[in-house]
Chain A
Amino acid sequence: KNQVEQSPQSLIILEGKNCTLQCNYTVSPFSNLRWYKQDTGRGPVSLTIMTFSENTKSNGRYTATLDADTKQSSLHITASQLSDSASYICVASRYNNNDMRFGAGTRLTVKP
């Protein structure tokens, strides 16, 4: 069973609208959680990284939240743009090693 579950699997929104992507993880002991953006045909690019002591992190129009007690994270995109169309991947890491568990991703499509 994957230790990182993302929802929804895919999402279509209109340009200018906001959206929120969800991530639940069971990785233990927990070290940090990252959100990556992956454009079609490209490698993943890091958007945010949060440790267990952080509960929110922003990067421009992207805001990630983390609840280490419930082991949930969300990525909120404000005022979406066509260029936000991509897959968004949640990655939870175990403490003090390179053991990163990847979610299957949410495919976001922003339409004009």
Chain B
Amino acid sequence: DAGVIQSPRHEVTEMGQEVTLRCKPISGHNSLFWYRQTMMRGLELLIYFNNNVPIDDSGMPEDRFSAKMPNASFSTLKIQPSEPRDSAVYFCASSPQQGSNYGYTFGSGTRLTVV
């Protein structure tokens, strides 16, 4: 298995532009998570899906952020409009089942820079 695949690896965009981050979870994993990592705040959970349904989006910072999971093999995290304070590394992770006792596999992340 290729693991959790994220694209792009790096994204540089101008303030105000729309940014879309993509994630392909491990085949057969039913839960998918989006995290954001910054030096100041460490890793923060933004949203997670179980069986393609959003379960908890309380970590999404504001309405500029949205996430979708149209099918079991693909998810997107969109920021519109982007702001410099959104600059961070965004990780996607997947897990076989819902519940913290199951192993999480992280992707390599997307480093977003908003200038």
Contact = CB atoms under 8 A, between A and B. Distances in A.
Contacts, number: 52
A98 B33 contact: yes
B61 interface: no
A7 B93 CA distance: 26
A30 to B, nearest CB: 10
Q: Give 9 nearest A-B pairs by CB, closest first.
A: A43-B106, A93-B100, A102-B43, A104-B42, A44-B106, A43-B91, A43-B108, A102-B42, A43-B107
A39 to B, nearest CB: 10
B70 interface: no
B14 to A, nearest CB: 24
Given A89-B43, A93-B100, A98-B98, 6 more contacts: A31-B100, A42-B109, A43-B106, A98-B33, A98-B99, A99-B100
Nearest to B107: A43
26 contacts: A2-B42, A31-B100, A32-B101, A42-B108, A42-B109, A43-B91, A43-B93, A43-B109, A44-B43, A44-B91, A44-B106, A46-B103, A49-B103, A89-B42, A89-B43, A93-B101, A96-B99, A97-B100, A98-B55, A98-B98, A98-B99, A99-B100, A100-B45, A102-B42, A103-B42, A104-B42
Contacts of A112: none
Nearest to B104: A46
Nearest to A105: B42
A50 to B, nearest CB: 11
B97 to A, nearest CB: 10
Q: Chain A: interface residue count, which band?
A: 20 to 34
Nearest to A45: B106
B67 interface: no
Contact of B99 (A45, A97, A103): A97
Nearest to B92: A43
A112 B107 CA distance: 30
